[in-house]
Amino acid sequence: MYDESDFIALSALQHFVYCPRQCALIHIEQVWAENSYTAEGREMHERVDDGETSYRPGVRTTRSVPLRSAMLGASGIADVVEWHKRNGREEPFPIEYKRGRQKKHDADKVQLCAQAICLEEMLGIAIPSGALFYGQTKRRFEVVFDAMLREKTAATAECVHELFRNGVTPLPEPGPKCNQCSLQELCLPEVVVHSRSAKNYVHKLLRELSEDEI
């Protein structure tokens, strides 16, 4: 169990699975940049995360739902939670909205599973599944929270906590994922091979340029 002062953002788990360096740049070095992908994602979340509650037969839908888990040591916001009425009670079904399409990696699934674990801890119930909605395909994909995904989610949370405790940005691992990352120009994956901090590398270059001008 983690103390609330040590809580990490749920989104950090998604960032870590996608790229540990990206996770460190965003959450430790506080580096951020936006590209067309992140802009589309932000606009989608702004449309969804209005905090409103809506109803349709048998389903209550809540948006921008605060989440926390002492077990994971994480907190954040669920885009949407549907409450399906079955056998006289409401059963939560978390839904995470993403731009683009379904991924081959598990980053989005881990983030959604972490949301479910938060809800389970907060409500004292079991949540078997949720869904990912992708804006590009306009399709919802159900995600089953099986033992393997739960173990990966818990392990990822522990890895992120360890990353934060060490405070060391991992070296870049250049690959196809870099082409869609908004931090590519700040991360400098093909250049920063000896410096663990992209921010420090950029500051070093600026100092050298300033010294040349003197």
- Nearest CA to 170 among 19, 6, 33, 11? 19
3-state secondary structure of 2: coil
Percent of the chain at pLDDT above 90? 60
pLDDT tens column, 28-42 = 998 876 554 544 545
3-state secondary structure of 66: strand
Q: Which residue has the higher pLDDT, 150 or 99?
A: 150
Report whether 145 contacts 116 (CB < 8 A).
Answer: yes
| 68 occurs within a structural domain | yes
| 181 occurs within a structural domain | no
pTM for the model: 0.80
Distance CA(63)–CA(82), nearest Å, equals 9
| 136 occurs within a structural domain | yes
H-helix segments, 124-187: 147-166, 184-187
| 56 occurs within a structural domain | yes
Give the pairing of strands 59-69 and 74-86. antiparallel
Structural domain that includes position 13:
4-170
| 195 occurs within a structural domain | no
CATH of the domain at 119: 3.90.320.10
| 134 occurs within a structural domain | yes
| 197 occurs within a structural domain | no
pLDDT tens column, 2-24 = 999 999 999 999 999 999 999 99
Instruction: Name the pLDDT band for 114 (thresholds 50, 70, 90).
Output: very high
**What's the structural domain count of the chain?**
1
pLDDT tens column, 38-89 = 445 455 555 556 668 889 999 999 999 999 999 999 999 999 999 999 888 9
pLDDT tens column, 143-197 = 999 999 999 999 999 999 999 999 999 988 888 888 888 888 888 766 654 454 5
| 140 occurs within a structural domain | yes
- Nearest CA to 7 among 157, 177, 192, 176? 157
> How high is the pLDDT of residue 34?
58
Q: Which residues contact residue 199 at a Cβ distance below 8 angstroms, ignoring those fewer than 6 apart?
A: 25, 29, 31, 186
DSSP string, 99-141: SS---SSSHHHHHHHHHHHHHHHHHT----EEEEEETTTTEEE
